[in-house]
Chain A
Amino acid sequence: MNLNATLLGELIAFTVFVLFCMKFVWPPLMKAIEARQQKIADGLAASDRAEKDLAMAQDKAKDQLKDAKAQAAEIIEQARKREAKMIEEAAQKANAERESILAQTKAEVEAERNRLREDLRKQVAALAVAGAERILQRSIDEAAHSDILEKLVQEL
């Protein structure tokens, strides 16, 4: 157990091992470890970013959906208004047409009636005149009594 030359041998071995470790073992291992740490850090950062992007996209989608809904509601509202307006217009138009047709028909009927009445009156007058002529036989001068006849026609 006393000290001897083994000490020197071990000292040399120790020096060589440490130098070898320093040159060929430590740097590549440390490089790999640090590179992986960097990679993991990058990955985590990227996932954070992706999460943020996703949240933003979701927000955007929500906004767009809201906009679309609002737009759709507006369009429906407009359509409804227009529908109501069209119905009203159609109703008004139909009403007006009815009125006009009615008025026209009335006028026509009136005109027809007037015409008929005129005809009738004329025929009745003619009949009356013919009847009177027959009754009175030639006693009545057509020209002299035309005013009476006119009056008669007027009264009919």
Chain B
Amino acid sequence: MAAGEELTLSSHIQHHLTNAKMCTVDGSVAFNKACSEAGFWTWHVDTLAWSIGLGILFLWIFRSVANKATVGVPGKLQCFVEMVVEFVAANVKDTYHGRSKLIAPLALTIFVWVFLMNLMDLVPVDFLPAFAGFVGETAFGMDSHDVYMKIVPTTDINMTAALAIGVFILMIGYSIRIKGVLGFIKELTLHPFSTKNIPLQILLIPFNLLLELIALVAKPFSLALRLFGNLYAGEMIFILIGAIGLAQLPLHFVWAVFHILVIVLQAFVFMMLTIVYLSMASSDNH
């Protein structure tokens, strides 16, 4: 961190929790504080850059292994990649009983991508923001306090919401593809309260619809907020630990070790729930 007299703990934390923003103001590109009025059309360039970079890293590694994959004795990298792929494939096979070419690659992408993005949490919190501040100050003549760099994309609600919305769209798509539009509507209106008595059933439809819609919408919300909440809280604690001086070292170590669990677990949970939700969307019986 560049030193500054006006720098308080809360502003330090605030600085860490702010994304680098980009927007257009009056037809020209503007950054960060100039974007406070831009509303929806603001881009978090750090989130976008890190997440897409990590996504490309994942696809590049896996693609290069897939290109060179031998049927004979595999190399170490191929072994590792195959372990991950088989782990995901086994989970998909256990949970999703239909036939789909999409589910398994989707689960693999989510698992590895989310894992890599979460993993950025283990990079000491000040390294990359300070480096970005240094670059901004020396190369572009900016005040380093105006250079923001949030390197963990999953601590940005936009990132987790985008994943959850992607899964949600697939849930709706699978529901309609497997059960048909009518079947999907029936599922939303005739459960959980169903009766043979037709007038009574008509009376029950609004209740059913309300309950089912809440249940349906709760799924992407829980997906997005679970991942975001866990990583945001973890990041916050890293920032707080990072703010207490030299005493941070043992604390930081303990929290980082614990956080390894969170990183893998949240990636796994996101993948597993995606599979489960899509499996529920694809199965006829409620």
Mark A residues whose CB is within 8 Å of B: 1-11, 13-15, 17-18, 20-22, 24-26, 28-33, 35-36, 39
Known: A26-B104, A28-B69, A32-B82. A14 touches B63 (CB 8 A): no
Q: How far is the CA of A32 from the CA of B69 in the complex (A)?
A: 6
B166 touches which of A15, A21, A26 (Cβ 8 Å): A15
Q: How far is the CA of A127 from the CA of B86 in the complex (A)?
A: 141
A30 touches which of B58, B78, B89 (Cβ 8 Å): B89
A21 touches which of B17, B62, B71 (Cβ 8 Å): B62
Q: Is B259 an interface residue (CB 8 A)?
A: no
| Interchain Cβ contacts under 8 Å between A and B, 22 examples | A9-B43, A10-B158, A13-B55, A13-B162, A17-B109, A18-B102, A18-B109, A21-B108, A21-B109, A22-B101, A22-B106, A25-B62, A28-B69, A29-B62, A29-B82, A30-B104, A32-B69, A32-B74, A32-B82, A35-B71, A36-B71, A36-B74
Main secondary structure of the interface of B (DSSP, over half): helix
B71 to A14, Cβ gap below 8 A? no
A10 nearest CB across to chain B (Å) = 3
Q: In the assembled complex, which residues on chain B have CB atoms less than 8 Å from the CB atom of A3? A: 40, 157-158, 161
A26 to B108, Cβ gap below 8 A? yes
B86 to A5, Cβ gap below 8 A? no
Q: Is B41 an interface residue (CB 8 A)?
A: yes
User: Whose C-beta in chain A lies nearest to the C-beta of B228?
Assistant: A1
Q: How far is the CA of A3 from the CA of B84 in the complex (A)?
A: 32
